[in-house]
Amino acid sequence: MEQVNGDTLAAAGKVVAVHINYPSRAAQRGRTPAQPSYFLKPSSSLAVNGGAVERPAGCELLGYEGEVALVIGKAARRVSLEDAWSHVAAVTASNDLGVYDLRWADKGSNLRSKGGDGFTPVGPALIPADAVDPSRLSIRTWHNGELVQDDTTEDLLFPFARLVADLSQLLTLEEGDIILTGTPAGASVARPGDVLEVEVSTLDGGLTTGRLVTTVEEGATPFADFGAGPKVDDLQREEAYGSREAAGLPALAPALSPELKAKLESVATATLSSQLRKRGMDNVSIDGLQATRPDRKVVGLARTLRYVPNREDLFKTHGGGFNAQKRAIDSVNDGEVLVMEARGEKGTGTVGDILALRAQVRGAAAIITDGGVRDYTAVAGLEMPTYFANPHPAVLGRRHVPWDTDITIACGGATVQPGDIIVADSDGILVIPPAIAEDLAEDCIRQEQEEAFIFEMVQQGNSVDGLYPMNAAWQARYREWKAGTADPEAGHPND
C-alpha cells in the first residue's frame, strides 16, 4: 500500500465533490437526483493524513461526511464510460467537512461552508485503482469510536466511472485531482473534542486505507464584521444532523396525521368525490384502472415516478442499474402510495413481482400505475394493493424509459404531485390536495351522517320527495334524529 504524502497531493489542482450518490443518503434527504451534481472545494482545504480541524469561532454545525476519494492518475478529457476508470490512479478515504452555519451565504456554491482550511482530510493510504473493483468497496465512519456510517459502493446512483466521464465532458481532470464521491446515510455533526475516523477498504478487507483520523478543535478567532458571519436555523440543524429527531427538534405535524387518515378512511370515495365537486374540483380522479385488492381501503401520501416513451439511446443511459424506477421503489416510505405515470400505455409492464414486493416490505400503502403490471398472479397475491391498467408480460424497455421521481405527473387523467393525499377504494381513486383535506373530511363525515338518516327514512317507507335532498322540515327531523330525540315510529314530518 502506498502511503499518502504531501508530494502526492500537491498536484491536486482541484477537488470536486458530488452532492448525493448513495441510495441511503437519498432516502434520508428525501430526494433522489436523476443526474449527478457537483461543487468545488479548494485544494487548500486538503489535510493530508488528517490531524486537527478547527470548528470556526461562533459556529455550531460542523458536519462530517465519510467518503471514498478518487485520485486522478492521468488527464481525462471527454473520456468514455468504458475508459474512465483507467484514468483513476487510486482511491483513498476522505472526510468532507463543512459548517452549515455558512450555507446561507454561499448561495449554493459551498465555498465558505466547505472550503475552510483542513476541511478535506484525505488518507492515510492509497489503494491502487487497478487492484480493486470500484463497485465492491466499503466506506465506514466512526464518531468518538462509534460506527455511524457503514455502506458499500455496490448500488451507487452514479458509479465512479460515470462521475469521471461526466466531469470530463466539460473540464479536464488533471493528474492529482481528487473527486469526492458522496457520502452514505449517517453523516452528522461533530463538536470540539470529538474524534472522527474514516476507512475505505475492499469488501473482503484485503486492501484498506487504514483509518483517517481527524480531531475537532474550537476556533478562537471570530469572524470579521465585514463579511458574512455564521447563522443557523432549524432547517440547517435538521440537514446537518440528518433528521429533526437527531437534531433534538420537535417533530413537524405530518401532512397526513393519524387523525386525518382515520377520518378519510371512514368515508367513501363517492362522498369525497361529491364534496370535491362542490369545491369545483372535477378533475381529481385517477380513472380506468383495476385493483389487485379491491376490498382494501387505501389512504396515503403520494410519491411519484414518471416514465417517458422508449428511445433506445436514452434507455441505455437511464434504463439500467439503479434507475428511476428502482430509486422510487427503494425510497418509498411507510404508508406512502407510489403513483406512476405511464401515459396509459398498456403494451408493457411498469412493475413486477420483485419490485412490488420491495415496495410492500418498505411499507408502501399501494402502487398505482396507468400502465401494465408484470407477474400479475404474484403481484395480486401480495397484501399491498396495486392499481393498474392491465396485465402484460413485457419489460420496461419495450415501451418505457424510467425517467424521474418525485415530480408532478399525470396518471389516469389526473395530475398528481408528491405529497398529495391518495384515497382509493372499490369505487375509485381520488387525489386530494393536502390544504383542503381536513375541511373536506369533516364535510364528508357530515354528509354521510345525513345520508345514513335519509337511508333509514327511505327504509321506513318515506318518499324521497323533500327528503333527498332534505327540505327544512326534514332537516329539523334530522337534527332530532342526530340528537337521539326523534320518535323512531314517526312518519313524514308533513303527515
The secondary structure of 8-59, three-state, reads HHHCCCCEEEECCCCHHHHHHHCCCCCCCCEEEECHHHEEECCEEEEECCCC
C-alpha to C-alpha distance for 491 and 159, rounded to whole angstroms = 76
Q: Would you state the cell numbers that stand for residue 51, as one nine-digit string?
A: 490531524
Cα-atom radius of gyration of the chain, to the nearest Å? 29
This prediction's pTM: 0.60
- CA distances to 10, 135, 220, 358, 398 from 423, rounded to whole Å, are 59, 41, 56, 22, 31
H or E, element range at 70: strand 66-72
The per-residue pLDDT for 4 is: 46
Identify the pLDDT of residue 486. 54
Would you give per-residue pLDDT tens digits along the chain (495 residues)? 444 444 666 568 899 999 999 998 988 887 788 899 999 999 999 999 999 999 999 999 999 999 999 999 999 999 999 999 999 999 999 999 999 999 988 888 899 999 999 999 999 999 999 999 999 999 999 999 999 999 999 999 999 999 999 999 999 999 999 999 999 999 999 999 999 999 999 999 999 999 999 999 999 999 998 988 999 988 899 899 988 888 888 876 677 899 999 999 999 999 999 999 999 999 999 999 999 999 999 999 999 999 999 999 999 888 888 898 998 998 898 999 999 999 999 999 999 999 999 999 999 999 999 999 999 999 999 999 999 999 999 998 899 999 999 899 999 999 999 999 999 998 999 999 998 999 999 999 999 888 899 999 999 999 989 888 889 888 888 888 888 765 555 555 555
Q: Which domains does the chain have, with CATH numbers?
A: 2-241 (3.90.850.10), 282-432 (3.50.30.40)
Residue-wise pLDDT for 404-432, tens only, equals: 998 999 999 999 999 999 999 989 999 99
Beta-carbon contacts of residue 449 (< 8 Å; ≥ 6 apart): 482
Q: Are 429 and 274 in contact (CB under 8 A)?
A: no
Classify residue 397 by its DSSP letter: G
3-state secondary structure of 305: strand
Span 158-201, pLDDT tens digits:
999 999 999 999 999 999 999 999 999 999 999 999 999 999 99
Count CB-CB contacts under 10 A for residue 310: 16
Closest CA to 98 of 127, 134, 56: 56
Q: What is the 3-state secondary structure (H, E, C) of 169-211?
A: CCCCECCCCEEECCCCCCCEEECCCCEEEEEEEECCCCCECCC
